[in-house]
Amino acid sequence: MKLLIDGNILLDVLQKREPHYEDSAKIWKMCETDLAEGYVSALTFANLVYMMRKELDAYTISEVLKRLSLIFSFEDLTASDISTAADMQWDDFEDALQAVTAKRIHADHIITRNVKDFKKSEVIAFTPSEFLARQSVMTQRHMQ
């Protein structure tokens, strides 16, 4: 299963943001243990560095990137992605880019805490808790 992980999920774990940390960490762990393939847009990493700029020096940025690269695959942003996202005319351009990237890489789902921003996405978005509940139900059905 291929998941595009939105930046807010990564920030939840990196900054241990409550009350979101636990479920976001479970998504992270699924990617780390190969229960899911986790993808992150290169734009997301740039946004993370920008948002955490007061906490990060150049060395730490490099170390965070190395750690994340062990768990997640980074997807480049293409000129076509930018054009397609602009044509979508969403209120939040960055979310449109995420949706376009998810579609291009054939992701099964987008994992984000801002599901409402992805209502028009062709790739269905779930919050971590929604996704984990859905996986639990699927596992129970599979066991019966």
Query: What pLDDT score was predicted for residue 142?
Result: 55
Residue 124 has pLDDT above 80, yes or no: yes
**1-25 pLDDT tens trace:** 999 999 999 999 988 999 999 999 9
Strands 2-5 and 72-75: unpaired
Domain hosting 64: range is: 2-143
Compute the average pLDDT of residues 133-139: 75
Q: Per-residue pLDDT for 141 more than 60?
A: no
Note the pLDDT tens digit of each residue in 68-113.
999 999 999 999 999 999 999 999 999 999 999 999 999 999 999 9
pLDDT, mean over the chain:
91
**Per-residue pLDDT at 33:** 94
**What tokens were used for 99?**
């949706």
Predicted confidence (pLDDT) at residue 129 exceeds the cutoff of 60: yes
CATH code (residue 18): 3.40.50.1010
92-100 — which CB contacts under 8 Å span 24+ positions? 92/117, 94/43, 94/47, 97/41, 97/43, 98/4, 98/6, 98/41, 98/44, 99/123
Total domains present in the chain:
1
Distance CA 111, CA 4 (A): 6
